[in-house]
């Protein structure tokens, strides 16, 4: 979900592992020459989801942490590709936490219908996040560092020595 900490945790995990970090939202914005919100306003949420799917399907990486947009779960092909090239991690936060963290839903670039509230988006996406998760961090409301340690523990990856 928006506000789950995908970008912050992804960057912290990549730094801990000594890997690169890719944020697909930033790649979409770079390639389109526009912000996610501008793309939503100009082309609509379905077009943004298609751009996101194309971006994800184009990824072929190793030693990389990939932070995706929250709407990537609407693309079965995109999620299968991510599962083939990586381990899909679900930062599982509750709706109250999402609401506490997201104050700018209208400017955030969230790929959803204009009339959808955060409650509706959460209700629609949550089962998809659970379906595709290969690793889940329940109640992932702590610090990015705590999330990284939990991810490494679940992956049984040793922390690189500095």
More confident residue, 85 or 139: 85
DSSP run (H or E) holding 96: helix 95-101
More confident residue, 52 or 140: 52
Could you tell me where the DSSP H helices lie in the chain?
Answer: 6-17, 24-32, 36-43, 45-57, 76-85, 95-101, 118-132, 144-155
Residue for token pair 């599982």: 92
- Is residue 101 classed exposed, middle or buried when 0-12, 13-18 and 19+ CB atoms within 10 A define those classes? middle
pLDDT of 19-51, one tens digit each?
999 999 999 999 999 999 999 999 999 999 999
pLDDT of residue 41: 92
pLDDT of residue 28: 96
- pLDDT above 90 as % of the chain: 70
pLDDT of residue 61: 87
What's domain 6-153's superfamily in CATH? Answer: P-loop containing nucleotide triphosphate hydrolases (3.40.50.300)
Model pTM score: 0.88
């Amino acid at each position: 979900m928006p506000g789950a900490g995908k970008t912050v945790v992804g960057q912290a995990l990549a730094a801990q592992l000594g890997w690169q970090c890719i944020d697909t939202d930033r790649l979409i914005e770079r390639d389109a020459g526009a912000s996610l919100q501008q793309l939503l306003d100009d082309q609509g949420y379905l077009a943004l989801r298609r751009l996101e799917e194309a971006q994800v399907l184009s990824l072929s990486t190793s030693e990389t942490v990939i932070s995706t947009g929250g709407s990537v779960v609407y693309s079965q092909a995109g999620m299968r590709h991510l599962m083939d090239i990586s381990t899909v991690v679900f930062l599982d936060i509750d709706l109250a936490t999402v609401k506490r963290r997201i104050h700018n839903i209208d400017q955030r670039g969230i790929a959803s219908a204009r009339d959808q509230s955060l409650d509706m988006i959460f209700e629609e996406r949550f089962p998809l996040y659970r379906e595709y998760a290969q690793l889940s961090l329940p109640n992932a409301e702590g610090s990015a560092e705590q999330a990284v340690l939990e991810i490494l523990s679940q992956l049984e990856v040793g922390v690189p020595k500095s």
